[in-house]
Amino acid sequence: MTGKALVVSMSRRICVDMYNAIVKLRPDWHSDDDTKGIVKIVMSGSASDELDWQPHIRTKKAREAMAKRYKDPKDELNLVIVRDIGAAVEKLDAGQEMFDGPVLANPLSVARHVPAVQLLSCSSAC
């Protein structure tokens, strides 16, 4: 099965932990270059954030460029991890989403934003 997926997590820390777990299993999915790579985190932050978060913190312009990559069916970017579902759905609009477990506490708020949602639970240890 091919397609694109959007993972919406509860915190930026969980986003980074999930990314690290994925690239540990699939190192070829990682790229330091924002124009390459199968998996990316799309999140904002600042220079005062933790050091291991820094590679994932992008400017608004870079986040918008990442959204364009994700929307392009020919682009290899197939898995995006985000913290904020509102901005994520508005900018990335995936057909299949995976939500970190605690986000499922209010599935109706998720359903309002995403017309066709496949809910999968995942702990921060994924």
Q: What is the model's pLDDT at position 104? A: 45
CATH code: domain of residue 62: 3.40.50
Looking at the domain assignment, is residue 18 inside a domain?
yes
Q: How many domains does the chain have?
A: 1
Q: What is the model's pLDDT at position 86? A: 59
Average pLDDT for 51-56? 86
Q: Closest by alpha carbon to 92, among 54, 63, 62?
A: 63
Looking at the domain assignment, is residue 121 inside a domain?
no
Looking at the domain assignment, is residue 119 inside a domain?
no
Looking at the domain assignment, is residue 62 inside a domain?
yes
Q: Are 29 and 38 in contact (CB under 8 A)?
A: yes
The token duo for 115 is: 């017309």
Q: Is the pLDDT of residue 112 over 80?
A: no
Q: Are 6 and 96 in contact (CB under 8 A)?
A: yes
> Which tens digit of pLDDT belongs to each residue from 92-111?
444 444 444 444 444 444 44
Q: Is the pLDDT of residue 64 over 50?
A: yes
Range of the domain at 85: 5-113
d(CA 84, CA 43): 8
Q: Is the pLDDT of residue 49 over 90?
A: no
Largest CA distance in the chain: 40
Angle, CA 97 vertex, CA 71 and CA 33 arms, to 5°: 45
Looking at the domain assignment, is residue 67 inside a domain?
yes
Q: Is the pLDDT of residue 45 over 60?
A: yes
